[in-house]
Structure 1
């Protein structure tokens, strides 16, 4: 458990923490507990956005800064996955061709469009929450990023193969019980409900629906899951959760 928790921090953030072990067992624990890392990071980003608004910054500017800090704190890992999956799915090839496109270091039009839309929605929604005060921004950020990381457990659930024999997908595919991701959604929504009201369960439901659809489509196209699918599902879950909280 200690090794898995350390690996969750070391693998998914820039915190210079040395993981004592990197193997399938530790990685499985890391995927199960990484929503806690998302909650902490989301709360910090929400506080940063609210602090900028308190200093007189427009909400959109505060949201953009917070989203940029989030990308820096995760080395852009999940955004890179989103971009790669967008280009891969846009190639309309067979699994081998799709995976080859995703491994290409170049950035295509699909990736650019997805990144602009996703980052724009995240920044504007987080800025809108910051305009409403510190509590909505912190709680909303914590819930959204927690839900984003909870998607990892769904993508890595048992019975879902890896798309290739290397990478994160091969390391963690099939390590999670099917109930782990839904349990996280319930726990996170319940914890945020006293602070965010009905917006919390609504955000959890729409985030879960998007993750299920995207993960299923990616599995059909790739023949399994890869690290890019994890990153894409996380970013899309964060995006729709923040949007739902803003609308609610």
Structure 2
């Protein structure tokens, strides 16, 4: 994800509109005008990140389902379902994943790895990571659509919402920014831990509800997918914090992509 200047100075409490504008303005390409770029607005925006994920997931599910019902076949529906989140985020999360893979794969000290991540080109680690991530997403969605449109659509929503919930958890206290500026500095430590935990619980509850179309086993399976996905996002975050000394916008993208990938893969298994 691209970085921007960090906010500074005291500000009044943001409204729900401020929070939504921050979430959609930073996490999607939807035409939303940011009116505030400060830490209170960042806190609200990160708490609303799963709402942005819900919109992206519903759009992704809608296109995939429409193509499947038009008899396009599961594979094309899976490609469309994978493409929509990339388009609605201008590929920023995928770019962050690639940059983070290059930084981690470089084996260099934190300062040099962060410099590599800021470069505009993508190195071999980034290319390989992107390739297998997208292939895995398409394969998982194709398998789900083979079972029926509801399986693929539910997975698209669960993956998108859970991926953005991971961003909420990443913005909790105790996770420092790796740079003094950028998106990482803007949102690092803004979300209180109880609020982050409540958001995660709400997302897991939503995932459980979305799995009920196949009964209790499906509901439990969906909840497990969300839990394992969030755990993977946390593992990614911890690795990046250890290697880079904190978080950046690219790390946010990597956390979101790995979390979403694990969610859909777990849903495709079993």
1:220 aligns with 2:235: no
**Residue 266 (structure 2) aligns with:** 244
Distance in 2 (CA, whole Å) between partners of 1:183 and 1:116 is 34
**Residue 200 (structure 1) aligns with:** 222
Change in CA separation of 1:192 and 1:151 when aligned onto 2, cut-off 3 Å: closer
Distance in 2 (CA, whole Å) between partners of 1:211 and 1:181 is 14
- Indicate the RMSD between aligned Cα atoms, in angstroms: 1.4
Q: 1:30 aligns with which of 37, 40, 45?
A: 45
Contact 2:204 2:227 in 1 (8 A): no
Please identify, of 179-188 and 115-124, the stretch whose mean Cα deviation from structure 2 is larger: 179-188
**Residue 40 (structure 1) aligns with:** 55
Distance in 1 (CA, whole Å) between partners of 2:39 and 2:89 is 21
Distance in 2 (CA, whole Å) between partners of 1:140 and 1:69 is 14
**Residue 151 (structure 1) aligns with:** 166
Distance in 2 (CA, whole Å) between partners of 1:179 and 1:89 is 31
Deviations 1:179-216 (A, max 9, x none): 44443332222223244122211111211111111101
Give the TM-score, by structure 2 length.
0.87
Deviations 1:36-91 (A, max 9, x none): 11012112211211221221223122111221222111110100100000000011
Contact 2:162 2:229 in 1 (8 A): yes
Structure 1 stretches of at least 4 aligned residues deviating more than 6 Å after TM superposition: none
Distance in 1 (CA, whole Å) between partners of 2:136 and 2:100 is 19
Unaligned runs of 5+ in 1: none
Give the paired residue count: 248
**CA apart distance, 1:132:** 2.6
Give the TM-score, by structure 1 length.
0.95
**CA apart distance, 1:110:** 0.6
**Residue 12 (structure 2) aligns with:** none
Question: Match of 1:8, SS?
Answer: helix
Unaligned runs of 5+ in 2: 1-15, 212-218
**Residue 169 (structure 1) aligns with:** 184
